[in-house]
Structure 1
Amino acid sequence: MKKYQRMIRFIYILEFIFSIWLYIKAPATIAVHFSGSGKPDAFDSKYWLFLLPVLLILAGEILIFIAKKKRKKIGLEQIPTFLPNEWTYITVMFIFFIIFSYFIQQEILY
């Protein structure tokens, strides 16, 4: 379980570090909403860059909680390997990481 927790937390910490790096590079005002044609139509402070990493942290902690409950239910709290559902959660977190990183980067490009 510790390996699983470390993996999930590594993904969202990496996203947070990426956001800090982009925050430093970002202008004071960034695009926060895009129209159907892909053009920005709403702008706000660059602090918005931290919204998606915070959501990723919440999602990660929820997935850790779910995995703990599942392990406890089947009596495998102390087994040191990943369970199949945990690999699924890690994959979901990694996909969120890629999508969120893309969106955060798009916000500062306009």
Structure 2
Amino acid sequence: MIDEGGLAQFRRWVLEVLDLVSADHVLQAEYMRVSRVGADEIILQLDDVMYVARARLHDGSLTQDEFLLLQSVDEVICSANEFESICDEIALKESASWRELRAAARLARSELEQSWR
């Protein structure tokens, strides 16, 4: 049996993380300053989402299509070997990988939000 409260909380969390990942570089830099973390923390939050998403896929509370949307965002990170070296504010603004990541996160967020309504 699926815990509806826990599922709703998971979905809110996923959308919040995707909001951060897809945010403009200025907002991401502000998040980093306020939270006193590096850009890698943005990526690590997505990694946390993926870990829980795999478990939710396994227990049936996340569909294959929903998981694939999240995985498409994660694959941008996996395909960009440079993420380790672009975890500063300048890279947030100038890196093509960060632009690609933001675009993938925006698309996934839009599709998931529509699916979860």
TM-score, normalising length: structure 1 = 0.41
TM-score, normalising length: structure 2 = 0.39
Larger Rg: 1
